[in-house]
Structure 1
Amino acid sequence: MEGLVRRILSTLFVTACVLVATPTTGHAAATWTKAGTTVAVACGSSTLSQAANWYFPATTTPKALVYLQHGFSRSNANMDALAGKYADAGFLVFAPTLPSSTAGNNCAVNNTGDNTAFLNNVAGWLGELTTSTSNLAKSYTTAAGKAGRTGQAPPAKYVIAGHSAGGDAVTYIANRLRTTYPAAFANLKFLQLLDPVLSPNGTNMATGLAGLAGTSLPIYAISSPPYTANSQASGTTELIKDVPRSFLGVRLTTGSHCDAEGASTNFLCTLLGGTSKAANVTALQTFAVNWANDAVAGTSTAIYYPGGTYYQGLLTAGTITTLSGS
């Protein structure tokens, strides 16, 4: 039954909500500036040009880059609210739209055949960022011009975050950086998984976690309880199984799969995932941003971890439970 439900949901999503974000000009927000452009990525013998949003913080020296990846049959527009929270905190945010399903070539965020060659190319965005002619560097330069930030290099340190099937994809990408771009991997400070969901084919998340578990890279999830919309918490279960650490993040006890999208979600997520509670969205955004702050700075702000006042308040209220590895 679960497999049938997944196929039905997949068909609904693919046919009804493959969203293509239109490149935009710079857009000023209260404490950050959003610039829309495109980013190129190789797909077999061809090249895709994908929509990409960049969020420039008020500070001219961002603390780190956040690569924020949407999930299956979603777009970067659905990550807008969380991207803004990272930018508010001083991060430069890169949020691309990747295909969710492509006929025959497996160039998609969701692995329905074997998308590893495509994800290897996506990993190259970060691995080759310091080369001015690379795809991500050119996207950044274009966006910086629109945002009035010309002449500024992107920060060396970075964070990778992925929602849903995007969590499956970015785990593989992070490990690909470890094996293929070790200099870039040394600057990866944090992997944030937002209610991750395993792809229907392949072992991308398991492969990624097998390579990352022995490193010092912090890997935390913010998850909702097991139910149909997150494939019975398949990605969170994989994380707990594969990474034997005492702290792996939190589960929002009444969470929705749409929590990571916050105010930028839409009915196509809430129809199948349920409407988010404001308190859960706030908790997710608070943990995600502050854990990233700590990982980049090499600090540990006690209130956001077990034993700390903010964390324990949510734990006592029953809002969260702690995730730990087996």
Structure 2
Amino acid sequence: MNLRSLVLTAMLAAACAVATAATPMAHAEPDRMSETVDIACGGDIRHLSTDWYLPDGPAGGLVWLQHGFARSNANVASLAEHFAAAGYVVFAPALPFLDPAGCTLQNLGDNTGFLDNIAELFATDAEPANSLARSFAAATATANRPDLRLPRHTVFVGHSAGGEAVEYVARRLHTDHPAAFADLRGVVLLDPVKSFLGDNTDQALTDLDHTDLPILDIAAKPSPCNLFGVGTDTLQRLLHRRYLGIRIGTGVHTDAEGPSGDSLGNLLCGDPTSVNISTLQTLAVGWATDFFTGTRTADYYPAHAPTADAATAQSAVTDAVSAAPEAEILTGS
């Protein structure tokens, strides 16, 4: 190699070094692994599709993220990614909305046996034969993430009919599985909807009202898609608490789906705005983080609601999230 070549090589190496130093390290995207989870129902086993979202580093907890009526886990992918980016393992199963044996997300007759068996997943997840643990192990093996362990502490997040499902499973943990209930740190409801049949929501909230379990709601404006707000109305009627979340006055039922929604959902329920999507994602992840860590981030709560002036309380929340200045503070009865 002659002198000119040596000089050019050295200059190129120096330029590459400068460029590398000037380029910030990209934060790794959360791993999304598609597996199945086995849930007993109707004398048989349902092999249900589930997506696992794995954080880049250590896991701060396990989030069960449940989609809504006639939707799938793909419709909550964007929100799941936000939870995983915040450091949480996300379990997002696809639960049926039609099944002759009643193995459905919403109650079309009696789906309580199916939901009872979902509660069993969380109650026995430390056992090697547990379906939840096996599904997680398969996901981490595929992702080559031997460093991750299934977190013991949980937060349940449910959209639409998924809200009723997580309420009911939380109640079953309280009544039948006290150790698992002690590991449940909180519930986040995303415009929850009651089933036409049965009283799963009423049973769950009546029981949970006597516990210290944090339960917060991000509601949209009443519409046919949320049965005119019946799930949130029931929450306010049965939970005797000072702060139950917010209602976004311009929100639509599919805000929780955000970029993961589809044309059918948007046609039926309205187009989510980027501002409202951001508000929901910020609050949902922020509340979950507070539940897991036992802290209270002032930005996500009104300072004195409802004892202080309502306008002051409203400003405290909307200023904090910088997104929904017309947000209504939800309080219990």
- Equivalent residue, structure 1, for 2:229: 233
Q: Report what 2:83 is aligned to.
A: 86
Q: Which residue of 2 aligns with 1:166?
A: 162
- Going from structure 1 to structure 2, the CA distance change for 1:315 and 1:89 (only over 3 Å counts) comes to closer
2:257 match: secondary structure: helix
Helix, strand or coil at the partner of 1:247: coil
Aligned pair in 2 of structure 1 residues 316, 196: CA closer, same or farther (>3 Å)?
closer
C-alpha distance in structure 2 between counterparts of 1:121 and 1:167, whole Å: 17
Confirm or deny: 8 A CA contact 2:318 2:325 kept in the other structure. no
Q: Secondary structure at the match of 1:68?
A: strand
Q: How many equivalent pairs are there?
A: 296
In the TM superposition, what whole-angstrom CA distance separates every residue of 1:129-148 from its partner, at most 9, and x where no partner exists? 11111110110110111111
1:52 to 50, 53, 61: 50
**What TM-score does the superposition give when structure 1 sets the normalisation length?**
0.88
Structure 1 residues 86 and 293: alpha-carbon distance in aligned structure 2, compared to 1, 3 A threshold: same
Q: Equivalent residues in 2 for 1:129-168 (5 A)?
A: 129-150=125-146, 152-168=148-164
Whole-angstrom distance in 2 between the partners of 1:316 and 1:262: 15
| Paired AA for residue 154 in structure 1 | L
Amino acid in structure 1 at the alignment position of 2:59: P
Which residue identity does 1:324 align to in structure 2?
A: T
**1:169-214 superposed Cα distances (whole Å, 9 cap, x missing partner):** 1100100011111111101001011000001100101111111111
- Matched residues in 1 for 2:113 and 2:273: separation? 38
Partner of 1:320: 327
**Distance in 1 of aligned mates of 2:67 and 2:291:** 21
Task: Give the residue type in structure 1 aligned to 2:261.
Answer: T
2:97 aligned partner: 100
TM-superposed deviation, 1:52: 0.5
Cα offset, 1:166, TM superposition? 0.6
Paired letter, 1:38: T
- Pairs within 5 Å for 1:65-76: 65-76=62-73
Amino acid in structure 1 at the alignment position of 2:85: D
Q: Which moved more, 1:145-154 or 1:261-270?
A: 145-154
Match of 2:286 in 1: 290
- Matched-pair identity in %: 42
* 8 Å CA contact 1:315, 1:321 repeated in 2: no
RMSD: 1.6
Give, as a single letter, the amino acid of the residue that structure 1 aligns with 2:84: A
Deviation at 1:88, TM superposition (A): 0.8
2:255 counterpart of 1:255: no
Question: Distance between the aligned counterparts of 2:225 and 2:243, measured in 1?
Answer: 25
Alpha-carbon separation, structure 1, partners of 2:268 and 2:323: 29
CA deviation map 1:111-140 (0-9, x unaligned): 010100111011111111111111101101
Gaps of 5+ in 2: 1-26, 304-312
What secondary structure sits across from 2:275 in the alignment? helix
Unaligned runs of at least 5 residues, structure 1 = 1-28
2: CA distance, partners of 1:319 / 1:38: 41
Distance 1:207 1:48, change over 3 A: same
TM-score of the two chains, using structure 2 as the length reference? 0.86
